């Protein structure tokens, strides 16, 4: 005859409850200890900085018992609360058990890697729209090393001019800096293109005048003039030249060359 009829770990001689269902949380007399479905609360704190390996798993139990878990081959005992620190980013599987019983409730959690700030910047003639996609708020925004804004919003706009350097820092210094150097000339466009002769080149509205050179496809300089910038545009014409491909070289701080097609 088995010395443990219901296989709950308590010998028959001490087992007051001889028909305990397998997997139940039991007391020292082999009787079931009721545990609510929400008895355990699991909290995971991910790595705060990349490669810091400082993740945490915290367990709290509503009912006071002698619990234990085995994590990374180490046994941790607790009665109500347990926090395991200095964990590296990965998935962890563990089971909460009761000392002296067959109760087992298993979990899988994941500690994520520390964040590095990341985002996108869209520049127009007067402002930059920044969307932070990863990073810890609040965000401190600097233009040319001068702090101009602190916000918890992940999307915000900043007034800029050509050559400005916009930096965004998070609440965690280790997440790095999101930086954008404003080059208003990188979006220079010609319209209409192709053209029948007349066309416009869009420029930053802060510019009052700009030098522009026109070349044919053989590299021959056709004209070189300083044009007034009116409402962010320069008007040009190749009406007197035959159909074909032309190059307009805008003499900005960093010269920009545009291909112009005359129909």
Give the per-residue pLDDT at 31. Answer: 72
Give the per-residue pLDDT at 118. Answer: 95
* Residue pLDDT, tens place only, 2-58: 777 776 667 777 776 777 776 566 666 667 777 788 999 999 999 988 899 999 999
CATH annotation of 118-182? 2.60.40.10
Separation between Cα atoms, residue 54 and residue 50, nearest integer Å? 9
Q: Residues 104, 110, 111, CA angle at the centre, nearest 5°?
A: 125
* Residue pLDDT, tens place only, 112-129: 999 899 999 999 878 999
pLDDT at 109 over 70: yes
Q: Calculate mean pLDDT across residues 120-149.
A: 94
Give the per-residue pLDDT at 210. Answer: 92
Higher local confidence (pLDDT), 7 or 108: 108
For residue 180, what are the contacts with CB-CB under 8 A and spacing of at least 6?
121, 123, 128, 130, 165, 166
CA separation, residue 222 to residues 114, 170, 240, 245, 257 (Å): 57, 51, 11, 13, 14
Provide the percentage of residues in the chain whose pLDDT is more than 90: 65
Give the per-residue pLDDT at 247. Answer: 96
* Residue 100, phi then psi, degrees to nearest 5: 80, 5
pLDDT at 1 over 60: no
> What sign does the CA torsion over 157, 162, 164, 170 have?
positive
Both tokens of 92, joined, read 């962890």
Q: Calculate mean pLDDT across residues 58-67.
A: 94
* Residue 37, phi then psi, degrees to nearest 5: -60, -25
Give the per-residue pLDDT at 215. Answer: 96
* Residue pLDDT, tens place only, 178-207: 999 998 877 788 999 999 999 999 887 667
Residue with tokens 């001689």: 13
Sheet of 190-191: strands edge to edge? 190-191, 198-202, 233-237
Separation between Cα atoms, residue 176 and residue 220, nearest integer Å? 48
Domains 118-182 and 185-262 share a fold: yes
Sorted by where each begins, the domain ranges of the chain are 40-111, 118-182, 185-262
CATH annotation of 185-262? 2.60.40.3080
3-class DSSP state of 174: helix
Both tokens of 91, joined, read 């998935």
Which of 2.60.290, 2.60.120, 2.60.40, 2.40.128 would CATH assign to domain 40-111?
A: 2.60.40
Cα end-to-end distance, the chain, whole Å: 102
* DSSP summary character for residue 152: S
Per the prediction, the chain carries an average pLDDT of 89
CA separation, residue 16 to residues 10, 19, 28, 29, 67 (Å): 9, 9, 9, 5, 21
Give the per-residue pLDDT at 140. Answer: 97
Give the per-residue pLDDT at 181. Answer: 94
pLDDT at 102 over 70: no
* Residue pLDDT, tens place only, 221-249: 999 999 999 988 999 999 999 999 999 99
């Amino acid at each position: 005859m088995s010395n443990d009829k219901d296989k709950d770990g308590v010998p028959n001689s001490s087992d007051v409850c001889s028909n305990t269902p397998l997997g139940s949380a039991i007391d020292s007399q082999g009787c079931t200890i009721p545990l609510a479905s929400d008895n355990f609360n699991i909290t995971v704190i991910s790595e705060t900085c990349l490669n810091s390996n400082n993740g945490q798993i915290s367990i709290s139990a509503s009912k006071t018992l002698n619990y234990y878990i085995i994590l990374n081959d180490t046994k941790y005992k607790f009665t109500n609360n347990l926090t395991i620190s200095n964990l590296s980013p990965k998935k962890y599987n563990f089971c909460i058990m009761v000392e002296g019983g067959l109760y087992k409730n298993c979990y899988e959690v994941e500690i994520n890697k520390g964040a590095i700030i990341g985002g996108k910047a869209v520049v127009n003639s007067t402002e930059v729209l920044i969307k932070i996609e990863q990073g810890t708020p609040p965000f401190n925004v600097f233009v040319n090393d001068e702090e101009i804004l602190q916000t918890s919003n992940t999307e915000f706009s900043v007034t800029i001019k050509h050559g400005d350097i916009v930096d965004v820092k998070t609440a965690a210094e280790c997440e790095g800096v999101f930086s954008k150097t404003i080059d208003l000339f990188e979006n220079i466009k010609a319209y209409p293109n192709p053209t029948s002769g007349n066309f416009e080149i869009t420029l930053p509205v802060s510019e009052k005048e700009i030098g522009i050179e026109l070349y044919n496809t053989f590299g021959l300089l056709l004209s070189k003039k300083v044009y007034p910038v009116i409402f962010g545009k320069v008007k040009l014409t190749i009406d007197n030249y035959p159909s074909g491909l032309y190059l307009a070289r805008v003499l900005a701080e960093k010269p920009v060359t545009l291909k112009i097609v005359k129909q």
